[in-house]
Amino acid sequence: MNISALLTSAGINIGLCLVFLSLYSVLRKQPSNACVYFGQRLAQLRSKGRDHFSFDRFVPSPRWIVKAWEASEEEILACGGLDAVVFLRLVVFSRRIFSIAAVICIPFVLPLNYFGKEMRHQHIPSESLDVFTIGNVKEGSKWLWAHCLALYVISCSACVLLYFEYKNITKMRLEHIVGSSLNPSYFTILVRAIPSSAEESCSDSVKNFFTRYHASSYLSHQMVYRSGKVQKLMDDASKMIKCTSTEQFGSYLKGCGLCGGAAHSFNVLSGEPESVRSGNEMVYPELREKECAAALVFFKTRYAALVASQVLQSANPMSWVTDLAPEPHDVYWKNLSIPYRQLWVRRIATLLASIGFMILFIVPVTFVQGLLHLEQLQRRFPFLRGVLKSKFMVRLITGYLPSVVLMLFLYAVPPTMMMFSTIEGPISRSGRKKSASFKVLYFLIWNVFFVYVSSAKILERLGLFSSPKDLTAQLATAVPGQATFFMTYVLTSGWASLASEIMQPYALLCNFVYKYILRKKDEPSNGTLSFPYQTEIPRVLFFGFLGFTYSLMAPLILPFLLVYFFLASLVYRNQVNKLHCMYC
């Protein structure tokens, strides 16, 4: 790939970014799209306030960019919570460290790579991108000390910045814990693997156990039941209360954080008096049959709940397992009924399934790698020879098409990993997203980086792994050789993907079908809008991985990464704030 192909890819992605951002600026002003881009309650307020026709609604404006840029850390904390602040601090850290790398590598390291060998250079637009990488430096060059010095400066800068970032985040976390209002989850633990007994119910077992060993701090408990008619009646009653009580609806909105999905009222399940509980058992005789080996246990103090959640309750570690209960809106109720002994089987099964999915994904990665070899394309598909005579088509295929094809395949990864994480059995929605984030990140590092780099050498020489001693040498030549692809990957999966996802095309299409094709007058129920941490955190971390890998090998990638992190800062600030706040 040459500079012209890279500039063609950059021009296409810049145009797409401008189109998507302009469309978003217009679409977010339309009252009919308020339920797509804002929370349900805020959508109703915006729809009432903008029913009149205005020419300004159809003109793109940068007001949302200004609002997102001016949003302070305190406002983000109030709107999105501590998770959102930490995520945005990750983006800011990446922007800072790669700014330092760009200042060091572009003016000093890049010329050393370009003039690393004695050769006759062509005109810059026709120059191959390989001459800008460390692969163009001859072996044993006396200027390699400059690369080592730049590496040490970047590494030390990253360590210093990380120290201050962790210090600030720790301080914010302590302030958040001390200053937060009381939450039922602070006094609650989740008990699983409750031993079954023929003489007494699980509810009586829990009461007797905690009365015996935690008599001074135990308050009450609530069993977890399998979903069925009883659970459906409770859910329907909870929905009716939310619909009829404005005050409780407001508290419900406050209780919904970024990691929440469809919320369930915690108060419905919290410690009921014994008379009420016995009355329920009289009304629903099948209640005991639907008891799960799990319960929510409430304590009088936070300290007692914390101690009970950390102490081993039984000599058998597979019974009376205790954990701190998630927040009410964060509980993933479906997984509470999973027997505790099944969890290790589920984790092994999902691990094997994830590995199998990674292996299957080698096929599309190898296919994308083949798109960069025009000779192989012409040999396998002879009808493309006429098309590939055009210089523009060559630039398009080598500079833009591979990253687009790979990005389309990657769209299936986050939903698949989220499904695997759900099967694992986490008890919280945030835990499910955290597990999915790890899986997606490992997938990207393995398949998009290592497999893609290795497939390039496999296509050239099938004997790549014939000699394990040559593995490091082969990677040393293969990694710089694939820098051109990862530059286009940052453009496509970074710039254009950010600009397209801010529009939320899937939700926009569903809203259009619901209102204009199905002719529904009421607002569609989209549930509680939540930030997709399981897709965005792995992406940011993967781009950081690429930046640290290629900042010295191919410094040309740094300007593209800086633009991505700058755009990500604006887009993510807007996404976090629009879920809970309302802009003018």
Closest by Cα among 192, 217, 186, 219 to 298 = 219
The model's confidence at residue 188, banded by pLDDT at 50, 70 and 90, is very high
pLDDT at position 528 over 60 = no
109-113-118 Cα angle (round to 5): 140
pLDDT score of 297 = 93
What CA–CA distance (Å, rounded) separates 411 from 434?
Answer: 18
Q: What is the pLDDT of residues 538-549, one digit of tens each?
A: 999 999 999 999
Q: What is the pLDDT of residues 147-162, one digit of tens each?
A: 999 999 999 999 999 9
The model's confidence at residue 202, banded by pLDDT at 50, 70 and 90, is confident
Q: What is the pLDDT of residues 435-444, one digit of tens each?
A: 999 999 999 9
**Angstrom distances, CA of residue 57 to CA of 53, 212, 443, 530:** 8, 66, 42, 26
Q: What is the pTM of this model?
A: 0.79
DSSP string, 524-570: P--------HHHHHHHHHHHHHHHHHHHHH-TTHHHHHHHHHHHHHH
pLDDT at position 26 over 50 = yes
Query: Strand ranges (DSSP E) for 248-341?
Result: 291-299, 321-324
Which of 103-112, 134-143, 234-243, 489-498 has the least mean pLDDT? 234-243
What CA–CA distance (Å, rounded) separates 8 from 39?
Answer: 39
Q: Map 475-516 to HEC letters.
A: HHHHHHHCHHHHHHHHHHHHHHHHHHHCCCHHHHHHHHHHHH
Higher pLDDT, 34 or 569: 569
What CA–CA distance (Å, rounded) separates 263 from 253?
Answer: 10
